[in-house]
Amino acid sequence: MKKLFVNLDRCIGCQAHSLACQRVRHSAVTLQSTMIETVGTLPVVCRHCEEPACVAACPQEAMTRDDDFIVRRNASRCTGCRSCVLACPFGVLSQGMKLAMFASGKCDLCDARVAEGKEPACVATCPTGALSYEEVTDVFRKDREMVLGSHAVGYRTYIRRP
Amino acid sequence: MKVERNHICLFCSLGCGFTIESVDDEAVNLEYDTADEVGRGSLCAKGNFMLELLNHPERLTEPRNREKTLTWDKTLETMKDVLEPRLDRSEVGLIIEGDALREDISAAVRFAETCLGKDCCAVHYATGDDLVYRALLEASIPNPPVRLEDIERSACTIAVGDPFEIGPVISGRVLDARYASRKNILAVIADTSNMTSRFANLKLMGPVRTTLAGLLRVVVEETGGNEPAWKQAVRDAYPIPEDTIITDLGRKFVRTPSSFLILETQDPIAAQLAAAVVAASGSDKRLFTLGTYGNCGDICELSPATVTADTLMTRARDGHIKGFIVLGADIARGPAGETIGQVRKQTDFIWAGAPFDNGTTQIADLVLPTAIWLESEGTIRGEKRTPVVGFPGGALPYGEILRRLAHKLGRPLNGESPEPAPRRKEINGELIRRLAKEIGFQVPEPVIRSTSLRYADGAITDAMSWIRLQERSSW
């Protein structure tokens, strides 16, 4: 299972991923940056949770978690009630609401691009390599090797999370 | 028919590549060019904006005067009637933006020489990048050309200013070098904390000129008596009490093979000092200049334009210049904003060519729609590039407008290239003395305001990483 990872050791807060997401999804931004007080600007990405609160909260069954472990939003079913926005514990879904007033934006991990053999737009554009789209086990293995081999020189390596 | 063409971003001097897909001459998609050696597929926020720039609904597509839109024939006739009595009298100033293609600048310079008169052409750089490049030309160092992939292998990188802010794509390579080993150094020399300094393990915050002067002294002392003239000049010029951190950094820079200095500044004196540091450190050291203008370095080497936009404004205020042709540059905003407002009353005409409406087009008598670099054929990064799409409507490249106008005036432009830049001088004691004199009265006493050395952070991170990893493995 591949997921989107953020390496905070490498994120410079350039917000290129936001524009890439906006461009690919025709102005319905699903991935934005959030200013963390006194720390910096970070990308806020959908975790595609195992038990998504947004799916449970949706009264129209517009939010679903598919067999490929991607949480999707069905645009034709969504009525813009914002239940998913309130339910999301990470504040990810609220990002897209400003532009799409009657439907919440939702990251689908650029499945159309991935099917063509490309990376998601945010990952492809990231100038520093802070965003990566990798197998979960690979990322954990790399982190473990980095720590055991004493190559971990970054400050925030330990908070790399999907 | 679907066509894919590679092109290069001109929003900073890195020049990242990308691919534009077009259908029936309309740009429909931007794709990341992973084969490009500079960006390797990544683009910053500015680069992602490229498609919108091509398809923007507010692009100017037709020439117009204050009342109505015109055809190009009618526009060129009007321009001819106005220019004909003023030919060769240096009464018309031509200002072209610095972010134009080299071919366009060359055409502008030749048009000014052929039709307008002497010293009438200015290349306008809003950020002052040209001053830095010209200073570096004067103080050039006998170095092989810089390859970006070498930055990844540099064990000691000094960044002057904030290169991550101007060219975010370079940050991936710098961070690769920074994180490759715990002993690697990324030092930042800047006035205040910035985007780059967040990732540095050595920060030298304070007056940039002073810090570089101190570094220069350390480097010259460290390299021994190879250059006696230099050594004496630097000793005389910078009586600086030795600072431990600067000394450490200077020694590390000299002793590390193939170390890099990345320069992002708008201060020509700081640029020359940085060049002197690299030149004094040894032949394997490299200087990489990161500017806001994509091809400023090329144009500064090639362009024989000697006057600046400010000089032309002053001459207009004195009554010597009666009109302006402004191509691309928005001289109604920024530092020269008041000046163009004042000289507007003293000039007979202002013609503005631009891809979008700006402050200058609003006060112009004639507005000429122009193409952007993605729509013109030209040389970027030393390669000939073909346009990704055609011109929108009646827009034309700057060079083509001037060529047509020259033809209309009966003085077609010759095909000669601009003269090559004068021979570069080597850095020597004379230059160091002059630099010292220039900065001496501005920054008399060098002070390092704050420093931080965070070598120990790696060990802390290791311990914390290990604890977190233990927690995570239970998932």
Q: In three state form, how does the secondary structure of B169-186 look?
A: CHHHHHHHHHHHCCCCEE
For residues B326 and B336, the answer to whether their CB atoms sit within 8 Å is: no
More confident residue, B471 or A125: A125
Q: Looking at CA atoms only, how far is residue A120 from chain B in angstroms? A: 11
Domain boundaries, chain A: 1-45+109-162, 47-106
pLDDT of A72 over the 60 cut: yes
Tens digit of each residue's pLDDT, chain B (475 residues) = 888 999 998 888 888 999 999 998 888 888 999 998 888 889 988 888 888 888 888 889 999 988 889 999 999 999 999 999 988 888 899 999 888 888 888 888 889 888 888 888 888 887 778 888 887 877 666 556 678 888 988 999 999 999 998 889 999 999 988 888 778 889 999 988 888 888 888 888 888 888 888 888 888 878 765 556 666 666 666 655 555 678 888 888 999 988 999 999 888 888 888 888 888 887 788 888 888 888 887 787 776 556 888 888 888 888 888 899 999 877 765 455 566 777 788 889 999 999 988 888 888 899 999 999 899 888 777 778 888 888 888 899 998 999 999 999 888 886 655 554 444 455 555 666 666 666 553 433 333 333 333 333 333 333 334 444 444 433 3
Pick from A10, A144, A157: which is nearest to B461 by CB? A157
pLDDT of A82 over the 70 cut: yes
The pTM is what? 0.81
Return the CATH class of domain A47-106. Answer: alpha beta
A126: nearest Cα among A28, A31, A38 = A31
B51 and chain A in contact, CB less than 8 A: yes
Spatial distance between the Cα atoms of B283 and B281, rounded to a whole number of angstroms: 7
Spatial distance between the Cα atoms of B184 and B364, rounded to a whole number of angstroms: 55
DSSP B211-242: HHHHHHHHHHHHTGGG-HHHHHHHHHH--PPP
Residue range A54-74: mean pLDDT, rounded: 86
Amino acid A57: pLDDT: 92
More confident residue, A124 or B118: A124
B178 and chain A in contact, CB less than 8 A: yes
Amino acid A8: pLDDT: 75
Amino acid A49: pLDDT: 85
For residues B1 and B24, the answer to whether their CB atoms sit within 8 Å is: yes
Give the domains, in start order, of chain B with CATH numbers.
Answer: 2-54 (2.20.25.90), 72-125+298-408 (3.40.50.740), 131-292+426-455 (3.40.228.10)
| H runs (alpha helix) in chain A | 16-24, 53-57, 83-87, 111-115, 121-125, 136-148
Q: Does domain A1-45+109-162 have CATH number 3.40.50.150?
A: no
Look at residue B30 and give its three-state secondary structure.
Answer: strand
Amino acid B106: pLDDT: 85
Best-predicted range by mean pLDDT (A5-14, A83-92, B348-357):
B348-357
Amino acid B200: pLDDT: 86
> Are the Cβ atoms of B199 and A12 closer than 8 angstroms?
yes
Distances (CA, A) of A103 to A27, B164, B191: 13, 36, 46
* Strand locations in B38-109 (E): 92-97
Amino acid A69: pLDDT: 82
Tell me which chain B residues have a C-beta less than 8 angstroms from the C-beta of A141.
Answer: none
> Are the Cβ atoms of A143 and B164 closer than 8 angstroms?
no
B30 and chain A in contact, CB less than 8 A: yes
Beta-sheet pairing, B17-23 with B2-8: antiparallel
* C-beta atoms surrounding B59 within 10 Å: 20
For residues B366 and B75, the answer to whether their CB atoms sit within 8 Å is: yes
Pick from B44, B195, B468: which is nearest to A16 by CB? B44
pLDDT of A38 over the 70 cut: no
> Are the Cβ atoms of B45 and A18 closer than 8 angstroms?
yes
B181 and chain A in contact, CB less than 8 A: yes
- Partners of B385 in the β-ladder: B378
For residues B435 and B136, the answer to whether their CB atoms sit within 8 Å is: no
Give CA angle at B162 (B156, B164), nearest 5°. Answer: 80
* C-beta atoms surrounding B452 within 10 Å: 13
